[in-house]
Amino acid sequence: MNQINRVAIVGGTHGNEFTGAYLIQKFAQFPDLITRPSFETVALLANPNAFAVGRRYVEKDLNRCFLKQDLQDPTLSSYEELQAKSIQNRLTSTVDKADFILDLHSTTANMGLTIILVNSHPLNLKLAAYLSQINPLVRVYRCSFKSVEENPFVNSLSELGFAIEVGPIAQGILKATLFQQTQELVYAILDYLERFNQGEIPSTKETLILYDHLSVVDYPKKQDGTIFGMIHPEFQDKDYQALNPRDPIFLTFDDKTIVYEGTSTVWPIFINEAAYYEKGIAMCLTQRQQINI
Residues 249 and 116 in one domain: no
User: In the chain, which stretches have pLDDT less than 50?
Assistant: none
Q: What is the pLDDT of residue 203?
A: 76
pTM: 0.96
Residue 293 within any structural domain of the chain:
no
State residue 124 phi and psi, 5-degree precision.
Answer: -60, -40
Residues 220 and 258 in one domain: yes
Indicate the number of domains in the chain.
Answer: 2
Q: What is the pLDDT of residue 1?
A: 61
Can you give the CATH number for the domain in which 238 is found? 2.20.25.160
Q: What residues make up the domain containing 184? A: 6-205
Residues 199 and 270 in one domain: no
Q: What is the pLDDT of residue 84?
A: 98
- Per residue in 198-254, pLDDT (tens digit) is 999 877 778 899 999 999 999 999 999 999 999 999 999 999 999 999 999 999 999
Residue 228 within any structural domain of the chain:
yes
Residue 254 within any structural domain of the chain:
yes
Q: Are 208 and 140 in contact (CB under 8 A)?
A: yes
Q: What is the pLDDT of residue 205?
A: 74
State residue 292 phi and psi, 5-degree precision.
Answer: -90, 135
Residue 291 within any structural domain of the chain:
no
Residues 145 and 12 in one domain: yes
Residues 120 and 240 in one domain: no
Q: What is the pLDDT of residue 206?
A: 81
Q: What string of DSSP letters covers 184-207? A: HHHHHHHHHHHHHHTT-PPP--SE
Residues 233 and 185 in one domain: no
Q: What is the pLDDT of residue 118?
A: 95
Residue 95 within any structural domain of the chain:
yes
Q: Are 210 and 160 in contact (CB under 8 A)?
A: no
Residues 199 and 224 in one domain: no
CA dist 24 and 33 (Å) reads 11
Residues 186 and 51 in one domain: yes
Q: What is the pLDDT of residue 146?
A: 73
Residues 17 and 134 in one domain: yes
Residue 36 within any structural domain of the chain:
yes
Among residues 205, 236, 265, the one where a domain terminates is 205
Q: Are 109 and 68 in contact (CB under 8 A)?
A: no
Residues 164 and 247 in one domain: no
Residues 162 and 229 in one domain: no
